[in-house]
Chains A and B, each alone.
Chain A
Amino acid sequence: MSYGILIVSHVPEIAAGVPKLLQQVATDVSITAAGGTDEQEIGTSLEKINQAIAANQADELLAFYDLGSARMNLEMAAEMTTKKIHLYDTALVESSYVAASLLQAGVALAAIEKQLEPLKIKGNN
């Protein structure tokens, strides 16, 4: 499968938990995550995001995040990698779940993005 999912959260446990929810309905989708700072504290780490991008088996990733610096670090990581990163300002749990189920069902990216649209809740903070 050519598309993967990337989850970025401020909290290591959220980053570990969300993929569990998704993987249950998307067994064939590569889902990787980055959570917390390098010291496992609350925050985000560019290094962890870079690693999660590298570890993902797909070369085109749908990326979902929780708050503030997660988005900024995701943007920086996207500028550094050769993989294509699609960044969504949508509700983390719901939208990543939508993307995972639809990718598993083989739905095209454009159709997935249409489903994600009403879940946009941020990007202006």
Chain B
Amino acid sequence: MELTLENYLAWMQDFAQKIADKKDYLSDLDSKIGDGDHGNNMARGLKAVSEALATKPADLTSALKVTAMALISKVGGAAGPLYGTAFLEMAKLSSKTVDLSELITAAAAGLQKRGGAQAGDKTMVDVWLPVRDNLKNSQLTSEKIEQAVNSTKQMEAKKGRASYLGERSVGHLDPGAVSSGYLFESMLQTGVIK
């Protein structure tokens, strides 16, 4: 499974579309345990990503870098530096390897370094870690992604805005986990994994 400029562009186009379609749903989820802006933040960010990628980047590394910079500068919430760092780590590694599993492993590590979240803290990390592990064994499926997303429902938030709610955060999906679920659904659907 290798990431190429072509499959990467298709992946991001599909992800941007999903985010645009689910913008209100993501913000609704965020209003239950956060500040209600995750959908708007992500839609603003992915619009910037689409615009930046509209002029075809020279190679995969610059495409990943352009994505990271757009997310970092346009999202406006925690998801900006988090997703941004993830893509930046992929950009850095992509000059050495384009193996998808290795890239996602580096991205997840960057995400954890930036936000300090561990498994079980009810954040997007709870989707990135199982995806990373399943990619390693070539066992990533749509069901596995859904399972990871749904697993955040019963968790008590330890990071991010939802952590201020303590146990009242239990019973709600984490919005960042849901948007990360879309990211990896897009990855499956656009043939990045064959």
Q: Which residues of A contact B163 (CB under 8 A)?
A: 125
Q: Report how many A-B pairs have Cβ atoms within 8 Å.
A: 52
| Distance in angstroms between the alpha carbons of A26 and B77 in the assembled complex | 31
A45 at the interface (CB under 8 A from B): yes
User: With A47-B73, A72-B81 given, is the CB distance from A42 to B160 under 8 Å?
Assistant: no
Judged by DSSP, the binding face of B is: helix
Q: Flag if A43 contacts B81 (CB, 8 Å).
A: no
Q: Of the candidates B41, B84, B85, B160, which one forms a contact with A43 in the assembled complex, judged by CB atoms under 8 Å apart?
A: B41
User: With A42-B37, A43-B41, A75-B114 given, is the CB distance from A125 to B78 under 8 Å?
Assistant: no
Nearest-CB distance from B120 to chain A (Å)? 14
User: With A46-B81, A72-B81, A73-B81 given, is the CB distance from A67 to B161 under 8 Å?
Assistant: yes
Q: What 1/0 flags go to A62-95 for Cβ under 8 Å of B?
A: 0000011100110110000000000000000000
| Distance in angstroms between the alpha carbons of A45 and B159 in the assembled complex | 20
B interface with A by C-beta (< 8 Å):
35, 37, 41, 72-74, 76-82, 84-85, 114-116, 158-161, 163-164
A interface with B by C-beta (< 8 Å):
37-39, 41-47, 67-69, 72-73, 75-76, 124-125
